[in-house]
Amino acid sequence: MDQFLIKGSSRIAGEVTISGAKNAALPLLAAMILAKTPSTLHNVPLLQDVRTLIKLIAGMGIVIKKDQSTVICDTKTIDNFYAPYDLVKTMRASILVLGPLLARFGEAEVSLPGGCAIGSRPVDQHLKAFEAMGAIIKVENGYVKAQAPKGGRLIGCDYSFDMVTVGGTENVIMAAALAKGTTRLENCAREPEVVDLANMLVAMGAKISGIGTANMTIEGVDELYGCEYSVVADRIETGSYLAGALMTQGDVLTKSTSPLLLRPVLKKFEAMGATISSGDDWIRAQINKRPQPVDIRTQPHPGFPTDMQAQLMAICCLADGTSTIIENIFENRFMHVPELKRLGANIKVDGHTAIVKGVEKFTAAPVMATDLRASMSLVMAAAAAEGESLIDRIYHIDRGYEDVENKLRALGVHIERINPKK
């Protein structure tokens, strides 16, 4: 199993080009199943989760090919509507093929998903909405077996999500795009990745209003057609590299991204003492002193994103004062705390609240990545620490950060990927 060896005391500075967003690319890939004609998707990041979903889609008999950052998909050869456990178990986003398969072909059999162990992310919100659209849903032997109502087509409905769910919103708007009649959804997720999906569906011929709001209306159409589309920039990758500047009194310029995607995070960076400058497609963070403490509370978009909580906590560990971090999205998303403490952090956790008292420096230690975003917080912390740190279970970071070693090296981080078994 690969590990990262990082020599610390780095000052993270330089330029880095941001990749397409993993959390946007995955639903966009799933949406290609809806199209009768070939689709082309650009700016697709080369990540393990992307490879997995492409393999899953190809397993249905669909012709799907990736060339550099472009994916081309042609569904005319599809011969089954099955997503097996051995692929779905590795990531939760696999459930996103359920809506497109059910809407276009009237049936689907998809394994219940796996992924990061950061807390409960139930798919009941997806299934309840499909049932409201007339689908017959059975969960048997770890698989969701879905059938469209008589006539083979979902029926538009009025539905309000019990909780804000990104995956649920994405799955349902894909299904509703081909449903008979009009679907009115309330309490929808508003994340930029949801907006990106809705915009691609519109480019495919869908009729959607209220994009970017909590209430969306989808007027079902008979058919959707392939389009050419580009994945939105990864706001979490952007924020992660900018966080490295704040942790090491550095200067990072992120390119091919947008400040509009990251407003709540940039406001916190400014509150911590960083100078933030930006243009239409770039953001720069500079700081030449210890960061100031801040308090954050994770919330659905447009609040502070849970996917940036670990990175911000790592900055707070080095802040000149005490910060309070409240995690409202996932119940197990403080698993990185023991690992940061191994590096010398002073953190106390009480339920969903973490109190972080800043220390002057991190000290190198062996640590273990616990989930995707936590892995990046540990990499940045190790880069700031005195001495050499070994980070285990880095397969997590490969799921969400494209070309991470080369990007970090370009920013001055001394990082080496090693495999002790080789």
CATH of the domain at 122: 3.65.10.10
Letter string b/e over residues 103-123, b meaning 16 or more CB atoms within 10 A of that residue's CB? bbbbbbbbbbbebbebeebeb
In angstroms, the CA 187 to CA 173 distance is 13
Q: Which of 73, 116, 227, 316 does the annotation list as catalytic?
A: 116
pLDDT at residue 122, rounded to an integer: 67
pLDDT at residue 422, rounded to an integer: 58
In angstroms, the CA 12 to CA 287 distance is 11
Q: Is there a single domain that holds both residue 138 and residue 12?
A: no
pTM, two decimal places? 0.94
pLDDT at residue 48, rounded to an integer: 87
pLDDT at residue 420, rounded to an integer: 77
pLDDT at residue 115, rounded to an integer: 42
Domain boundary pick from 187, 211, 230: 230
| Three-state secondary-structure class, residue 89 | coil
Q: Is there a single domain that holds both residue 8 and residue 76?
A: no
CA distances from 252 to 134, 231, 325, 406 (A): 51, 23, 24, 15
Q: Is there a single domain that holds both residue 33 and residue 125?
A: yes
Q: Is there a single domain that holds both residue 108 and residue 9?
A: no
Q: Model confidence at 327, in pLDDT bands (50, 70, 90)?
A: very high
**Is the pLDDT at 368 greater than 70, yes or no?**
yes
Q: Model confidence at 151, in pLDDT bands (50, 70, 90)?
A: confident
Q: Model confidence at 101, in pLDDT bands (50, 70, 90)?
A: very high
Domain boundary pick from 207, 230, 253: 230
Q: Is there a single domain that holds both residue 253 and residue 335?
A: yes
Q: Is there a single domain that holds both residue 95 and residue 204?
A: yes
Amino acid identity for residue 412 in this structure: G
Instruction: Decide if 116 is catalytic.
Output: yes
Identify whether the C-beta of residue 23 lies closer than 8 Å to the C-beta of residue 45: no
**Is the pLDDT at 378 greater than 60, yes or no?**
yes
Q: Model confidence at 18, in pLDDT bands (50, 70, 90)?
A: very high
Amino acid identity for residue 69 in this structure: S
Judged by average pLDDT, the poorest of 88-102, 158-172, 243-257, 269-283 is 88-102
In angstroms, the CA 291 to CA 268 distance is 11
What phi and psi, each to the nearest 5 degrees, are found at residue 378?
-70, -35
Among left, alpha and beta (phi > 0; psi -120 to 50; other), residue 415 is beta
pLDDT at residue 119, rounded to an integer: 39
Q: Is there a single domain that holds both residue 219 and residue 299?
A: no
In angstroms, the CA 116 to CA 310 distance is 14
Q: Is there a single domain that holds both residue 105 and residue 198?
A: yes
Per-residue pLDDT of 50-99, as tens digits, reads 999 999 999 999 999 999 999 999 999 999 999 888 888 777 788 999 99
What phi and psi, each to the nearest 5 degrees, are found at residue 84?
-75, 155
Domain boundary pick from 171, 206, 230: 230
The angle at the Cα of 100, spanning 112 to 129, to the nearest 5 degrees, equals: 65
Mean of pLDDT over the chain:
94
- The total domain count for the chain is 2
| Token pair belonging to 84 | 């097996």
**Is the pLDDT at 129 greater than 80, yes or no?**
yes
| Three-state secondary-structure class, residue 66 | strand
Q: Is there a single domain that holds both residue 213 and residue 344?
A: no
Q: Model confidence at 118, in pLDDT bands (50, 70, 90)?
A: very low
Q: Alpha carbon 171 to chain centroid distance?
A: 15
Q: Alpha carbon 109 to chain centroid distance?
A: 24
Per-residue pLDDT of 178-219, as tens digits, reads 999 999 999 999 999 999 999 999 999 999 999 999 999 999
Q: Is there a single domain that holds both residue 74 and residue 220?
A: yes
**Is the pLDDT at 120 greater than 60, yes or no?**
no
Identify whether the C-beta of residue 260 lies closer than 8 Å to the C-beta of residue 270: no
Q: Which domain holds residue 317?
A: 3-19+234-418
pLDDT at residue 117, rounded to an integer: 38
Mean pLDDT of 305-323: 97
Query: Which position has the higher pLDDT, 94 or 3?
Result: 3
Q: Is there a single domain that holds both residue 185 and residue 319?
A: no
pLDDT at residue 114, rounded to an integer: 54
Q: Is there a single domain that holds both residue 406 and residue 273?
A: yes
pLDDT at residue 124, rounded to an integer: 87
| Those residues with Cβ within 8 angstroms of residue 233's Cβ, 6 or more apart along the chain or in another chain | 18, 19, 20, 21, 43, 256, 257, 258, 261
**Is the pLDDT at 17 greater than 80, yes or no?**
yes
Per-residue pLDDT of 340-366, as tens digits, reads 999 999 999 999 999 999 999 999 999
